[in-house]
């Protein structure tokens, strides 16, 4: 109804020239859950509070740096082994891989510090409402990554990963989980403890189309040797004994004079002195001891063995920003790696990609002249014609959420033809733009998408009486060319085709 005026004069009325529009929601905003050095913004405690960041520098200001992992150096004669003692938390290193591979905005949920044990209860938040549960209050995250899950025992890791799938597929239906294979740094075997077979069992059977898994782990380069010194050795007494033996052997072989050997031993003795200048002793030992350098190198190599979920989340972000969510996040190079921990052949990948159970595991493989590539684009629901491809599920999530938010202003509007036309036009315009961008396939709009709403098409008179406005949207989402088959045959010279 036009507004009635009582006072003579000139009045201006503005009319909207354009209808409401659908804005595409973000598609590659992961939430990382795990342990951090600290969790504070000033005096505010950020533990179990989702925090939005846009860079690694911002992460460092709120959550601190890498954990100080300690190692055991065990010697038997001339041989020695290096093993992790404590403190090998995965979140920080995975975040480094995320940003090294094209990541941007993400959320961090710190469930505890580096002195706290990794627990499925804290990661999921079953008791304190933190961890995964804390993300129920956030709207923006679209990916879920829990790198610290692989630090748990196998059964507990499976519990967390099933909770991730449930969170994405049931609790929110707007997110996608990126899963690691427990002990995925190991090669496959024909035994019952095969890492891939065990992982498939651990993932369960529910909400499989809302997650994807990757194998094997990566040999990264984000950890540098200069991050370590002898204070990272837990059993320092054994390490000192090993270094002294190296000096004695070199003196006995004539490689080092006795006087110099005593000077080196004096520096080695300082390693047990809490008041010694760590940097000075460390630099001297690096200059004179091959064993010392080798131990530090092994420490670096061990910490550079990382689960792939952080890097893959970065690649999702990279592909989405450069092409679109409709492009399969595969046949893309992983940065900051020297290769996967296990080399997989084309034959070995067959079971990963097409298992009888349908629980496809996406391979990460090295290729000559190309580097290390993600060579798989399937969800864990590989037997489903609808949801076997990652980009199909993620594109559908984007379309559903975008249309959902755009339709909210129409709640409580009159359920009549004017509203139906406005909604249909708004959704149709959005899908047309997605079709033109390549997300939908079809020679014409009718082949790419259909939008229906109205009495007699999607609703009955009873629906209107009950307050329902039902909209039917059908889309033909772009699918990847996973298998390209090129057929050759010989042609007779001069003959007919």
pLDDT tens sequence across 340-350: 999 999 999 99
What does the pLDDT look like over 6-52, one tens digit per residue? 888 888 877 776 667 888 999 999 999 999 999 999 999 999 999 99
Q: Which of 175, 38, 42 is nearest to 113 (CA)?
A: 38
**Mean pLDDT, range 267-292, rounded to an integer:** 91
* Residue 264 bridge partners (DSSP): none
What is the CB neighbour count within 10 angstroms for residue 356?
Answer: 8
What does the pLDDT look like over 445-459, one tens digit per residue? 999 999 999 999 999
As a whole-number percent, the residues of the chain with pLDDT over 90 amount to: 84
**Domain residue limits, the chain:** 30-70+80-222+305-391, 234-301, 417-497
Whole-prediction pTM: 0.92
- Joined together, the tokens standing for residue 312 give 């893959």
Q: Are 69 and 84 in contact (CB under 8 A)?
A: yes
Tell me the pLDDT band of 272, cut-offs 50, 70 and 90.
confident
> What pLDDT was estimated at residue 318?
97
Q: Are 139 and 402 in contact (CB under 8 A)?
A: no
What does the pLDDT look like over 241-271, one tens digit per residue? 999 999 999 999 899 899 999 999 999 999 9
Q: Is the peptide bond before 47 cis (omega within 30 degrees of 0)?
A: no
- Joined together, the tokens standing for residue 362 give 């996406």
> What pLDDT was estimated at residue 376?
95
Q: Which of 347, 342, 349, 398 is nearest to 378 (CA)?
A: 349
- Joined together, the tokens standing for residue 479 give 């699918």
The CATH fold of domain 30-70+80-222+305-391: Rossmann fold (3.40.50)
- Joined together, the tokens standing for residue 434 give 């997605």
Alpha helix segments (H runs only) across 101-153: 120-124, 131-134
Which residues, at least 6 apart from 66, have a Cβ–Cβ distance to it below 8 Å? 37, 92, 93, 223, 227
Q: Are 31 and 131 in contact (CB under 8 A)?
A: no
Q: Are 144 and 175 in contact (CB under 8 A)?
A: yes
466: helix, strand or coil: coil
Q: Are 259 and 96 in contact (CB under 8 A)?
A: no
Indicate if the pLDDT at residue 238 is higher than 70.
yes
Q: Which of 194, 210, 259, 238 is nearest to 81 (CA)?
A: 238
Dihedral angle of Cα 313, 318, 321, 322, to the nearest 10 degrees: -150
Lowest mean pLDDT among 204-218, 250-264, 372-386: 250-264
Tell me the pLDDT band of 290, cut-offs 50, 70 and 90.
very high
What value does the mean pLDDT of the chain take? 92
């Amino acid at each position: 109804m036009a507004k009635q005026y009582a006072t003579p004069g000139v009045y201006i009325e503005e009319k909207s020239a354009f209808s409401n529009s659908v804005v595409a929601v973000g598609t590659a905003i992961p939430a990382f859950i795990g342990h951090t050095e600290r969790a504070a913004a000033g005096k505010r405690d950020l533990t179990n509070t989702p925090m939005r960041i846009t860079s690694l520098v911002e992460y460092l200001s709120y959550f601190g740096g890498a954990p100080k992992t300690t190692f055991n150096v065990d010697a038997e004669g001339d041989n020695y082994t290096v093993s992790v003692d404590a403190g090998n938390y995965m979140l920080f290193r995975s975040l480094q891989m995320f940003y090294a591979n094209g990541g941007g905005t993400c959320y961090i949920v710190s469930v505890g510090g580096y002195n706290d044990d990794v627990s499925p209860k804290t990661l999921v938040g079953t008791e304190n409402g933190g961890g995964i549960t804390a993300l129920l209050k956030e709207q923006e995250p679209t990916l879920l990554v829990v790198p610290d899950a692989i630090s748990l025992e196998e059964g507990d890791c499976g519990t967390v990963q099933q909770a991730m799938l449930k969170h994405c597929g049931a609790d929110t239906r707007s997110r996608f989980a990126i899963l690691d294979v427990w002990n995925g740094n190991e090669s496959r075997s024909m035994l019952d403890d095969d890492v891939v077979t065990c992982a498939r069992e651990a993932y369960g059977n529910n909400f499989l189309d809302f997650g994807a898994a990757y194998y094997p782990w990566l040999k990264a380069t984000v950890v540098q040797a200069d991050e370590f010194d002898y204070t990272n050795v837990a059993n320092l007494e054994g390490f000192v004994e090993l270094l002294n033996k190296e000096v004695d052997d070199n003196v006995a072989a004539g490689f080092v004079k006795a006087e110099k050997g005593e000077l080196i031993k004096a520096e080695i003795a300082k390693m047990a002195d809490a008041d010694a200048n760590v940097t000075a002793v460390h630099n001297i030992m690096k200059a004179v001891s091959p064993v010392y350098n080798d131990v530090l190198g092994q420490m670096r190599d061990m910490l550079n063995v990382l689960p792939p979920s952080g890097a893959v989340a970065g690649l999702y972000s990279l592909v989405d920003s450069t092409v679109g969510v409709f492009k399969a996040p595969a046949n893309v190079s992983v940065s900051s790696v020297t290769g996967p921990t296990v080399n997989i052949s084309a034959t070995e990948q067959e079971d990963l990609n097409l298992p009888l159970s349908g629980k496809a595991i996406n391979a990460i493989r090295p290729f000559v002249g190309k580097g290390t590539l993600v060579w798989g684009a399937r969800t864990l629901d590989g037997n489903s014609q609808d949801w076997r491809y990652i980009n199909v599920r993620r594109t559908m999530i984007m379309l559903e959420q975008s249309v959902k938010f755009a339709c909210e202003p129409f709640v409580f509007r009159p359920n009549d033809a004017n509203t139906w036309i406005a909604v249909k036009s708004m959704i149709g315009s959005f899908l047309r733009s997605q079709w033109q961008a390549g997300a939908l396939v079809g020679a014409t709009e009718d082949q790419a998408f259909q939008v229906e709403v109205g009495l007699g098409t999607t609703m009955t008179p009873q629906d209107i009486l009950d307050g329902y406005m039902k909209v039917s949207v059908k889309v033909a989402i772009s699918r990847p060319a996973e298998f390209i088959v090129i057929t050759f045959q010989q042609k007779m010279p001069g003959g007919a085709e």
